[in-house]
Amino acid sequence: MKLLLKVLILAAFIMITSCSAVYQGPSADLVVLNARIITLDSQNPEACALAVIGEKIVAIGSKRQISPAIEEGRTKVIDAGGRLLIPGFNDAHLHFLGGSQSLMNLDFRYIDDPLIIQKMVARRVTEVRPGELIRGRGWDHELFPGGVWPTKELLDVVSPDNPVVLSRTDGHSIWVNTYAMRQSGISKNTPVPDGGTIVKDPITGEPTGIFKEAAENLIKVRSAYPLSPTDQHLRAVEALETGLAEARQRGLTSFSHLNMGFELFQQFKDQGRLTSRVTINMWLTDDATRLDEYEHLRSQYPATGDWIRSGYLKDFMDGTLGSGTAFMFEPFSDDSTTSGLAQMSYEELERKVVAADARGFQVGIHAIGTKANHWILNAYERASEINGRRDARHRIEHAQLLTDDDIPRFGELDVIASMQPTHCITDKRFAEKRLGMARCEGAYAWQKLLGTDAHVAFGTDWPVEPLNPMEGIYAAVTRKDRGGEPGEGWYPDQRLSMEKAIELYTAGSAYAEFTEDRKGRLKVGFLADFIILDQDLFVIPAEEIMNTQVMQTIVGGKIVYTSAR
């Protein structure tokens, strides 16, 4: 009863303050002064001070208006020194536990010579025992000389006695050595699973060590020194703490995680160690028993929660452009033998979507290619016809390659385009080679989607791309490679303004997860999740965006990160 009374009193003060020129409520827990605050609130777009009680913003305005909220000895005061303050970033699509684990494995991102990877594996071999599994991630054959796929022989030379499994940067192809294939029972006669590819030597027919999409599941390696359940849990805890530290440093105050992991995040929340809000997604299914389990999780972690929430149901419709497995209407320009790999039939897709939609779940499906996106839009439209139209906010994760006919359907069907701007500047290196110029006009079409009143949400797809939102902001406003190439950028008509790029990374992501009533903007009554930056993104040259650092990260009114600078 006392808690309810306190909430009602605070709500009353919030209402009074929002209509008053000078703050008249109780003393604040936290006040920020002398900031350039971009609120993303159209009713009050800029301010220079704000006050927080508990986890909520109770006032926002000028220094004169907010200063009465300060009680000496009680209120924590941050003098921002004129720096930019914006809502905390909300990553709409990432694999947080996998990304956290990747920080502890070999990292090959941006390496342009497979011999360097070979040396890194050789070094790791000296650090482990024979038979121990070696993992790594981030290689991209498109960066290698001639864009040639690597082979097992390069790994066999340095790791004859250890299984080696190295994921391509997109996670849709793996590169393994002979030891790993032998342990998995792979030979030239191994059947290729539906939706997968085993790359083979054109002369010998032997597997080269590259396995794509569903074929990745054929690799079943066993470490000679398996971890006990206790040690596995301790390693997962260590990885999550490492990932959360990275998130705090990057200004990530919320994220949508793929997939599961409720228990581990709950452990961190109970221990006061969870420093980002998390929406946890589950696997799409039409199995009634599994959907019942999801119903239970949804009751445990309801949409009204602010720290751990159950999210949408996720599945894959196709692969990636980098691996040449995106599902297209027509064959690839650089390989006329394939138009990509569908990961299920349209009938299965529709059946799953209709079943989940009937139970009131939000659905989000991975789609890169034009045909994959088309099928998913069809399935969402069919679900609304069968189950009735509702505020479902179904999503397409990535929505990278679209036809002109399908772009308006996002707005018409209220389908969220959950996109990752860094995919644009990574994939553009080879997109024209793989697709031809005409199909590239529908690639990463942010402005075209927004022009049809579609909702767009931004994220990173970490660990596929770096977790740092500044890279995504840079990509969205320039569409240039990370080296800062000359010119106007790749299809510059699709570039975004700085404010829109930030909005899609905050308010856009909040809308995509049904939290737009309390997250993504800075206004009275909203959660006090914000960051202070060392540079003003609105005035610095574009080439400085990726160098911008977070000075402080505040989540729920608590300072969770302060730069040592």
pLDDT digits (tens, 9 = 90+) for 275-302: 999 999 999 999 999 999 999 999 999 9
Query: Are residue 10 and residue 123 in the same domain, yes or no?
Result: no
Task: Find the helix or strand (DSSP H, E) in which 64 lies.
Answer: helix 63-66
Confidence of residue 222 (pLDDT cuts 50, 70, 90): confident
For residue 555, is it within any domain? yes
- Do 525 and 491 reside in the same domain of the chain? no
Question: Whole domain around residue 59: which residue ranges?
Answer: 1-88+521-565
Q: How many CA atoms lie within 13 A of 331 on its CB side?
A: 6
- 76 and 174 share one domain: no
Short-list 237, 190, 232, 197, CA closest to 214: 197
> Which of 218, 244, 269 marks a domain boundary?
218
CATH number, position 149? 3.10.310.70
Which residues, listed in sequence order, are joined to residue 61 by a DSSP beta bridge? 49
d(CA 300, CA 294): 10
Does the pLDDT value for residue 137 go beyond 70?
yes
CATH number for the domain spanning 397: value is 3.20.20.140
Q: What is the mean pLDDT of the chain?
A: 95
Query: Do 495 and 537 reside in the same domain of the chain?
Result: no
Banded model confidence at residue 371, pLDDT cuts 50, 70, 90? very high
CB 249 within 8 A of CB 295: no
Whether the Cβ atoms of residue 341 and residue 197 lie closer than 8 Å to each other:
yes
pLDDT exceeds 80 at position 11: no
Average pLDDT, stretch 178-201?
Answer: 95
- Total domain count for the chain? 3
Q: How confident is the model at residue 8 (pLDDT cuts 50, 70, 90)?
A: very low
Q: Give the integer Cα–Cα distance in Å for 512 and 458.
A: 10
Is pLDDT of 524 > 80?
Answer: yes
| CATH code for the domain in which residue 22 is found | 2.30.40.10
The proportion of the chain whose per-residue pLDDT surpasses 90, expressed as a percent, equals 93
Structure tokens at 411: 């707005």
Report yes or no on 84 lying in a domain: yes
Q: What is the pLDDT of residue 227?
A: 83
* Average confidence (pLDDT) over 485-513: 97
For residue range 92-113, what is the model confidence (pLDDT) as tens digits?
999 999 999 999 899 999 999 9
**pLDDT at residue 19 is higher than 60:** no
Local confidence band at 4 (pLDDT 50, 70, 90 cut-offs): very low
Question: Is residue 258 included in any domain, yes or no?
Answer: no
Instruction: Kindly provide the b/e burial profile for residues 394-425, where b requires at least 16 CB atoms within 10 angstroms of the residue's own CB.
Output: bbbbbbbbbeeebbebbbebbbbbbbbbbbbb
Residues 514 and 533 in one domain: no
pLDDT digits (tens, 9 = 90+) for 375-398: 999 999 999 999 999 999 999 999
Same domain, 287 and 415: yes
End of a domain among 188, 218, 248? 218
Each residue's pLDDT tens digit, 69-78:
999 999 999 9
What is the model's pLDDT at position 223?
A: 83
| Domain-located, residue 261 | no
Q: In terms of domains, do 57 and 109 share one?
A: no
Domain boundary residue among 483, 503, 519?
519
Give the model's pLDDT for residue 5: 47
DSSP helix/strand/coil, 555: strand
Q: Is residue 262 part of a domain?
A: no
- The answer on 8 and 146 residing in a single domain is no
Q: Is residue 266 included in any domain, yes or no?
A: no
pLDDT band at 37 (very low <50, low <70, confident <90, very high): very high
Q: Tell me: pLDDT of 247 over 90.
A: yes
Q: Are residues 142 and 68 in the same domain?
A: no
Q: Are residues 479 and 533 located together in one domain of the fold?
A: no
What span, in angstroms and rounded, lies between the C-alpha atoms of 441 and 435?
10
The answer to whether residues 373 and 450 belong to one domain is: yes
Answer whether residue 239 is part of any domain: no
Strand order in the sheet with 84-87: 46-47, 36-38, 84-87, 530-533, 550-555, 558-562
**Same domain (yes/no): 477, 361:** yes
**Within-domain flag for 244:** no
pLDDT, residue 1, reads 45
Residue 565 confidence (pLDDT): 78
pLDDT band at 304 (very low <50, low <70, confident <90, very high): very high
State how far the alpha carbon of 77 is from the alpha carbons of 49, 266, 277, 394, 559, in Å.
10, 31, 24, 41, 11
Given a cut of 60, whether residue 12 has pLDDT beyond it is no
Residue 214 has pLDDT above 90, yes or no: yes
